[in-house]
Structure 1
Amino acid sequence: MEWLASRVILLWGARRAGLAVLAGAFGALAQPPFSFVAALFVSFTFLVWLMDGSATAPGSGLFARWRSTFCLGWLFGFGYFVAGLWWLGNALLVDADEFAWALPLAVLGLPAVLAIFYGMATWIAGLFWSDGFGRLAALALGFGLAEWLRSFLFTGFPWNAIGYGVMPIPVLMQSDAVIGLFGVCALAVFVLSAPALLGTRRGMAGGLSLAVLLAAAHIGYGFYRLGQAPDIAAPDAGASAGTIVRLVQPVIDQARKMENADRIAVFEEHLSLSALPPKPGARRPDIIVWPETSVPFILTQNRDALARIGDVLQDGQILVAGVVRSEDAAPGQPPRYYNSVYAIDSQGQIVAAADKVHLTPFGEYLPFEDFWNEFGIGNIVDMPGGFTSGASRTLFTLPSGQVFYPLICYEAIFPDEITAAVGRASALLNITNDAWFGNTPGPYQHFLQSRLRAVETGLPLIRGANSGISAMIDGYGRIARGLDFDQKAVIDSTLGGSAHSIWSNYSRQTHFWLIIVTLVLIAGVSRLGLKIRLN
């Protein structure tokens, strides 16, 4: 290890840059569908050694060191995000004639922008860099702050945050309920970087001991919390009490939904799946869930379609469906369109509705629209003027008294945007249409991130996806029942209860900042000690 560390520290030029990119790209294997957690240990070990060669290089000026540490993090981030997000280009191929030219922007351009945050992370770490385990705290500090900033700056995009890579299964998810995603990110980087101490020796005993303690606490708390949890709800509802939810996964190709000639057939496919009888001895579903934008036309402009829904539903049943909602604007202006979810009763009446609040840039709306229109560039979703953001996050209350907290598609990736109103909900509702991305890592990554929102809030999650992954998830992140990607089917399952949790979103944010302050103190003391020794 010492020989390898020395070789890495002394690298320069193209070899150094190439290793940084490769280290980042290899780390992306920790994200779904691979979930190879060990990849991050390798990535961050090499990143520490590369930082050793940049942050403390003798004879270099302050600005040169800052530039070197920033560029190192940017290269690492570029490799990580290209390897983890290349699948975004698949959405542009749905209408290839119109958008194929933009593939380089999605596959390389977005990762280049996101990599700036990791450049900031290593730059911050470089300010505190030392030669002991304090430099692990410095790197954890930088990445913790960078991932937090990435969640809201420029509308936010915390996709594939480092913390997700160390939470692939429920026993490893429970720490998220206490310290939140960004707290997990920060402490994970400390642990993931610890093997680097084997190659440089200084601070090895203290650093490895602390890393082992943190890892043991992470795993141990998971076993403790799941040990206190009730058995997961039986997959088949049977005649038991409780709300029965049917998830409809229709697996409709995105190109079909965009063709006018196929829209009625698409609608009828959803109805046919919804009308399937339950298994022998099982109760009929109380709630039927269709995925995001499952109705391929403006439902309120088609009274016959509402009547068809009423014909299919039995008395007392409710359909929860993803729709496009239109609203008249000022005279002479085009209507406003919203990505929404409706609840429709057995009379074909809309009894509840909620709009998507956090829209997807370049997909549902165009930032600086007038500028891009000058170049003939529009939204991926062909909607005049794009979608309009909902005014506020609203609870979704059904006639039965069930209260859902709606998260439409990509809204489920933002942990800090879940408001205090979630405390009044009985479940999270996440509907999505990941068919845009095909059978790539994207839908699997989205599924994991959605599951973590259930762990954080302690609420069961109802997740309906067009092509997958649809599932009923309990408040501990455990899958009660689910459908594989690209599996055209329905599942009926009992809606589980909430997980016991004393931690609110405010508590998690407070814990995150306590972690940040602690990392500053460790890194600062270590840096000060290095200066004293050098003097």
Structure 2
Amino acid sequence: MERLAGRIILLWGWRRLAAAFAAGALLVLTQAPYDFFAAGFVSFPVLVWLLDGSTAEASSNPLRRLKPAFAIGWWFGFGYFLAGLWWIGSALLVEADSFAWALPFAVLGIPLLLAFFYGFATAVARLFWANGITRIAALAFAFGLTEWLRSFLFTGFPWNPVGLAAMPTPLLMQSVALTGVTGMNALAVFVFAMPALLAARRNLRLGLALAVLLVAAHAGYGYFRVNAPVEASGGKLAARIVQPSIDLSEKWDESVRDRIFQTTMDLSARPPEAGRPTPQLILWPETSVPFFFTERPDALVAIGEMLKPTQMLVAGAVREEAGRTAPLYYNSVLAINDSGEIVDAVDKVHLVPFGEYIPFAELAERFGIGQLVAGPMNFVAGSQRHPIELPGGTTIAPFICYEIIFPELVAVDVRSTSIIVNVTNDAWFGDTPGPYQHFRQAQLRAVENGLPVLRAANNGISGAIDARGRVIDALALNARNALDVEIDLPGDLSGGQIASAEQRRFIGFAILAAFALFAFTGRIWQRLRAN
């Protein structure tokens, strides 16, 4: 191991950068759908050894001294995000005649920009760099801090945070209910990077002891949590999740809208399987209604006739509203009762840049940049969200598309919510890792909040997830079907939540602070010994 570490430390020029890129790309194997977490025990030690060798001339100014470390992190990030997000380009191939030109910008441009976060992380880590285990703590702090920044800077894009590598199964997801994703990101890097100590063997026993202790606590708590007795039940909700699997080339084609609508209606109207109760809730995916209800009141009449007494349909639809100079369009979830009346609506708050709206629209238009994928109109962000109450008093908190990837956004008030609902249309990304990674994030939101999740996706993955992140049932990708499930409702006001969003945030930052203090102490101690 010492010989291997030495070779990596002494790499120079393009070979150093290529090694960083390869280590980052390898780390993607820890994410869904691969879930090969052992790759993290290779990627992060290689990154540590590369940073060991990222030195600059002592006479350089502070920023120049950090440049080699930043370059290593940037190439590591570029490899990670390119290998992990290449599937985003699939959305541009749905209408290739119009948008294929933008493919290089999506496939390469997004990873190029996101890589700056990891370049920042390694530069920050290098500021605290010392010998032994404290440099591992510095890397853990820096990545934890950077992943937190990535969750909100420039509208935020916390897709595939490194902490997910330590949570491939429900048993290993439970710790996130305490630490939050911020804490898990730092802890995961600390453990995965620990094999780097095998080279010089300094602090090896301490490092291995800490790693074993953290892994044992992580797995042990997960085992206890998933096997703990379920709280007193608040009853059950029978739900039907509809996955119509509509071809996106037809999505906005006016000539086939009636057929699309009827397909979704037929799946919704099927009688329940033998022994299953009649669904109380029917859930349709994002933008599943292929027209405006204001133009087609007959569709609401048909829905009312289809629904049985006390049933409610919650459907993703585009909502039109009169504006001062032009109509305003919202990507919404509509609640429709058995009389065919829209009784509630929740608009999407966090829109996808360039997919649902154009940032700095006037400036973008000068360069001929327009909306790329989502539909024939730009959307307006909703101002607030609220739970939707179903007949019988059950309340659901709806989140549209990638809103589910934001832990702070999905920090629901468990005193007023019984179920988290996620409607999406991942058909843009085809049969790629994208839908699996998206579904994994929904599992984490269930565990964090201690609430079940119902998820309806146009072409998958649709399914039901319990409050421990376990998949109750799901439909395969690209299947056209309706899934009937029964969900256990929380029996108390806490909803089974272990820590509130504020408490998870505090614990997560406390973990970052502990690693920062550990790294800073090691740096100071090394300087004192040198003098």
Normalising to structure 2: TM-score of the pair? 0.96
User: Does the residue aligned with 1:421 lie in a helix, a strand or coil?
Assistant: coil
Instruction: Rate the CA distance shift 1:23–1:334 in 2: closer, same or farther, 3 A.
Output: same
Structure 2 partner of 1:237: none
Contact 1:334-1:384 at 8 Å conserved across structures: no
Q: Give the unaligned 5+ runs of structure 2.
A: none
Structure 2 partner of 1:107: 107
Matches within 5 A, 1:395-474: 395-419=387-411, 421-474=413-466
Note the C-alpha offset of 1:182: 1.0
Structure 1 partner of 2:38: 38
Q: Distance in 2 between matches of 1:55 and 1:230?
A: 54
Residue identity in the other structure for 2:500:
S
Note the C-alpha offset of 1:502: 3.2
Q: Distance in 1 between matches of 2:3 and 2:57?
A: 18
1:452-494 per-residue CA deviation (whole Å, 9 max, x = no partner) reads: 0010000110111111111111111011111111121111111
Structure 1 partner of 2:183: 183
Note the C-alpha offset of 1:63: 3.4
Aligned pair 1:279/2:289, yes or no? Answer: no
Matches within 5 A, 1:311-350: 311-330=305-324, 333-350=325-342
Note the C-alpha offset of 1:216: 1.1
Matches within 5 A, 1:309-388: 309-330=303-324, 333-381=325-373, 386-388=378-380
Structure 2 partner of 1:207: 207
Q: Distance in 2 between matches of 1:55 and 1:191?
A: 25
Structure 1 partner of 2:162: 162
Normalising to structure 1: TM-score of the pair? 0.95
Structure 1 partner of 2:3: 3
Structure 1 partner of 2:253: 259
Note the C-alpha offset of 1:336: 0.4
User: Does the residue aligned with 1:376 lie in a helix, a strand or coil?
Assistant: coil
Q: Distance in 1 between matches of 2:141 and 2:56?
A: 18
Residue identity in the other structure for 1:271:
M
Q: Distance in 2 between matches of 1:203 and 1:42?
A: 19
**Partner residue of 2:239 out of 219, 236, 245:** 245
Note the C-alpha offset of 1:84: 0.1
Q: Distance in 1 between matches of 2:280 and 2:27?
A: 43
Q: Distance in 1 between matches of 2:43 and 2:408?
A: 27
Residue identity in the other structure for 1:325:
R
Residue identity in the other structure for 1:217:
A
CA RMSD of aligned residues (A): 1.8
Q: Give the unaligned 5+ runs of structure 1.
A: 234-239
User: Does the residue aligned with 2:54 lie in a helix, a strand or coil?
Assistant: helix
Contact 1:475-1:497 at 8 Å conserved across structures: no
Residue identity in the other structure for 1:148:
W
Structure 2 partner of 1:512: 508
Matches within 5 A, 1:45-64: 45-55=45-55, 62-64=62-64
Structure 1 partner of 2:23: 23
Residue identity in the other structure for 1:321:
A
Q: Distance in 2 between matches of 1:241 and 1:393?
A: 25
Q: Distance in 1 between matches of 2:216 and 2:229?
A: 20
Aligned pair 1:393/2:385, yes or no? Answer: yes
Instruction: Rate the CA distance shift 1:241–1:74 in 2: closer, same or farther, 3 A.
Output: closer
User: Does the residue aligned with 1:245 lie in a helix, a strand or coil?
Assistant: strand
Note the C-alpha offset of 1:40: 1.4
Q: Distance in 2 between matches of 1:529 and 1:60?
A: 23
Structure 1 partner of 2:521: 525
What count of residue pairs does the alignment treat as equivalent?
A: 527
Note the C-alpha offset of 1:382: 6.2
Instruction: Rate the CA distance shift 1:213–1:382 in 2: closer, same or farther, 3 A.
Output: closer
Note the C-alpha offset of 1:406: 1.0
Instruction: Rate the CA distance shift 1:38–1:5 in 2: closer, same or farther, 3 A.
Output: same
Structure 1 partner of 2:89: 89
Identical-pair percentage: 51
**Partner residue of 2:467 out of 463, 468, 475:** 475
Note the C-alpha offset of 1:130: 0.6
Instruction: Rate the CA distance shift 1:433–1:250 in 2: closer, same or farther, 3 A.
Output: same
Contact 2:397-2:412 at 8 Å conserved across structures: no
Note the C-alpha offset of 1:185: 0.3
Instruction: Rate the CA distance shift 1:446–1:383 in 2: closer, same or farther, 3 A.
Output: closer
Residue identity in the other structure for 1:75:
W
Structure 2 partner of 1:236: none
Instruction: Rate the CA distance shift 1:241–1:425 in 2: closer, same or farther, 3 A.
Output: closer
User: Does the residue aligned with 2:332 lie in a helix, a strand or coil?
Assistant: strand
Q: Distance in 2 between matches of 1:534 and 1:495?
A: 62
Instruction: Rate the CA distance shift 1:227–1:412 in 2: closer, same or farther, 3 A.
Output: same
Note the C-alpha offset of 1:398: 2.2
